[in-house]
Amino acid sequence: MRNFPFISIIIPVRNAERTLDKTFEYLLNIDYPRDKMEIVISDGGSTDSTILVIEEWQKRYPFIKLVKITNCPSPAYARNKALEIIKGEFIFFTDDDDLVLPNRISSPLSHICKNPILDVVYCNYNVVDDMGNIRPVQCEPFNHQAYLNLKFNIGSGILFGRRNVFMDVPFYSRYDLAIDYDWVFRLLRKNYQIDLCPEIVMNYNRSGDAIHHLSGNRESKTKHNEIYEREILLENLKRY
């Protein structure tokens, strides 16, 4: 790739002192020119030493930026505040306890360049459990009905897309426990194009108790059902 577009990486954090060092180490191993990327940390009011960890990394890497938010209501709000200051033509998100692979930019960017009709892509990923076991997860090419029926998931950590899309379709705090499920439907209603980039680009942390992850969270399931019913209603209204 001769012309490297500028990439913004957004990480919402709160009390992430134990995981940030490793997160940064993996981000700095991305196979992309460092002068063509920025890392924007959106801190939602950490009370531990998270800010100090970030400031130490900033001394070495000036492309790491920090947005401090007091009384942050949700991760969605933190992501949206970071969007206000980024410079990137393309964006991706990651959480402080997930680890990106070296191709986190190159694979989805190449896929969009080869398929310029696309505005956003989602990628395959690995799930890592308490024992360090790695299980690859293969998503499906986008199909509205399959996605509606939760045959596959599109988490924010596997998204990669054009900046204007995320500015035009912000995340909604109301659906923080099903933020990605809601976001994709609103994306489609604005006629943006999304599809699969069939490359594994990150390791998703699934250690700890299942109730701390969305798949085991009752409130999350309730939110997913609420969105599902909303989408069914909207589909039915189209028929009148």
125-165 per-position pLDDT tens digit: 999 988 889 999 999 999 999 999 999 999 999 999 999 99
108 with 1: CB under 8 angstroms? no
pLDDT score of 211: 45
pLDDT score of 154: 94
Q: What percent of the chain has pLDDT over 70?
A: 94
* Residue 196 or 71, more confident: 196
Token couple for 41: 């940390």
pLDDT score of 34: 95
Q: Residue 1: which pLDDT band, with cuts at 50, 70 and 90?
A: low
pLDDT score of 22: 95
pLDDT score of 3: 84
Q: Is residue 2 predicted with pLDDT exceeding 90?
A: no
Q: Is residue 122 predicted with pLDDT exceeding 60?
A: yes
pLDDT score of 140: 93
Q: How far apart are CA 46 and CA 19, in angstroms?
A: 13
Q: How far apart are CA 15 and CA 50, in angstroms?
A: 6
CATH number for the segment(s) 7-238: 3.90.550.10
187 with 169: CB under 8 angstroms? yes
Q: Is residue 207 predicted with pLDDT exceeding 80?
A: no
Strand-pair category, 64-68 with 37-43? parallel
Query: What average pLDDT does range 190-218 have in this prediction?
Result: 78
Token couple for 155: 């988490």
Average confidence score pLDDT of the chain: 92
Q: What is the pTM of this model?
A: 0.92
pLDDT score of 214: 47
Residues 6+ apart with CB under 8 A from 62: none
Query: What average pLDDT does range 2-23 have in this prediction?
Result: 94
* Residue 71 or 181, more confident: 181
* Residue 33 or 132, more confident: 33
Q: How far apart are CA 159 and CA 45, in angstroms?
A: 25
Token couple for 209: 């108790």
Measured in degrees and rounded to the nearest 5, phi and psi for residue 213 equal -115, 155
